Homo-oligomer: A and B are copies of this chain.
Amino acid sequence: MNGEERETSSLKTYTDDNALSTDLYQLTMAAAYLEAGQADKKAIFEMFIRKFPRNRSYLVAAGLEQVISFLLNMKFNDNHISYLESLEIFKRISDNFFEYLRKFKFTGTVWAVPEGTVLFPNEPLIRIEAPIIEAQIIETYLLSMINFQSLIATKASRIVNAAARGKRFIIEFGSRRAHGPEAALLAARASFIGGCIGTSNILAGLKFSIPIFGTMAHSFVMSFDREEEAFEQYIKTFPSNSFLLVDTYDTLTAVNKIIEMGLNASGIRLDSGDLYSLSTDARRLLDSAGYTSTKIMASGNLNEHVIRDLVNKDAPIDYFGVGTELSTSRDDPAMDGVYKLVAVKVQSSLPSPRSSTKAEGDSCDGEKEKILYKMKASTGRKTLPGPKQVYRLLDGDGRLKSDILALEDEYFENSIPLQKKVVDNGRLVHNNSLPSIKEIQMYHLKQMSLLRAESKELDSIPEKFPVIFSDRLQSLL
């Protein structure tokens, strides 16, 4: 096992085909906006979580870096355009549409909470102001990226928190059960943000400068005629960095072999059986033979609950390798993030359009623009109108007192506005280069210190999240 780390530049996951990583309706709506002469209408969309995954009491925002990379780089290439042109549904659409796509460039402005921020339902992670056609086209990619990384960062944060007593570390080992190779890569990134010390995924090391770790597999042990031979050969190859897997045949027998052979293993890995009793027995064997610095790693169907129980019993485990449950957020694998229109801007020289819908809130005059608040009224799926900001208030202990969800132009004394402008008219904000993955992790760990212990309980969800709606927002509702 080894914790490897290297600095590489960020903004790395853009791939050529991401412009088409979208739902067909985004492009049919785009065509309809163009035909209606409405494509340039300024729209404001917000992305927020409607309801937490099961048992979660807070959310960790993640995935912004990939979204920014996507916004600044996405392009429809010739291959994409000719595929779209070949589709029956676009057969009668004028060339204007394809011409528009060919020249597509995101020109909007983006406000977002920093990755690693702790948030609650209804609080916008991202707010985008852009010509409506642009704001619409980017929806699907944005949602899948933020939903997934926030899901995994949240799960990782819970697991790390469960292990936090004593010096115990979590490593993400879930690539083989993640939802495909890219999900494995993104899960490694999000897990690191949530507080894991690293991952087994090599590509995550290369792309995101995340420390990578590895031990050995059962197949390695089995491929040699004798377990001893496998251990010996591995240590010969990696003399200062060998975690030996000891459960292929019989765990404690294998530990005894390591001791008898005088092998200088960095650690052992337990992957099955009763991890409490095996780790306790193995620790005793190792210690009594003088191998006090040999570490113990445990893996195999671990999650935050199993880890909390092992930690509560003070099992002598130094590292937990967490796979499936982390990389799929197995107890609830979906983050219910949505992206909703909250306002449109119209030229104020025009007379205020008459409206028969329930969708408009009040409106306020800009210099040349009028902003119309928009609100969806679908059964059980109402949205909060208007462009919003989250204002965070701390109490005397520096803990989170409450968040005020308010319109973006409101002001609350001593509050910290969480959203910051990250893209301005299609360009990364000057002097706002993105934080490194390590900085994001540190920021998240600091965010966690805002929460009281009861907000970090694994099983009990607070009845009410500490989110207050401002008077103005309430009057709009």
Contact residues of A with B, CB < 8 Å?
2, 4, 6, 15, 17-18, 20-29, 31-33, 35-36, 38, 41, 43, 45, 79-80, 83-84, 86-89, 92-93, 132, 136, 139-141, 143-145, 147-149, 151, 173, 175-187, 200-203, 205-207, 212-220, 222-227, 233-234, 236-239, 241, 247-250, 271-273, 324, 328-330, 332-337, 340-341, 344, 353-359, 374-381
Contact = CB atoms under 8 A, between A and B. Distances in A.
B272 A378 contact: yes
Contacts of A273: 378-380
A356 B353 CA distance: 86
Given A148-B180, A181-B141, A329-B333, A236 B35 contact: yes
A32 B14 CA distance: 35
Q: In the assembly, how many copies of this chain are there?
A: 2
Given A180-B180, A329-B333, 10 more contacts: A22-B175, A26-B214, A32-B220, A33-B220, A38-B224, A132-B219, A179-B186, A225-B353, A273-B379, A330-B332
Contacts of A376: 218, 222, 248
Contacts of A334: 177, 324, 328, 330
A173 B359 CA distance: 26
B233 A32 contact: yes
A21 B87 contact: no
B83 A233 contact: no
A21 B184 contact: yes
A178 B148 contact: yes
Nearest to A132: B223
A175 B21 contact: yes
Contacts of A336: 177, 324
Contacts of A202: 20-24, 27, 83-84
A203 B233 contact: no
Contact of A2 (B88, B144, B333): B88
Nearest to A232: B36
Contacts of A32: 216, 220, 233-234, 236-238
B250 A219 contact: no
A316 to B, nearest CB: 19
B181 A144 contact: yes
A414 to B, nearest CB: 35
B147 A177 contact: yes
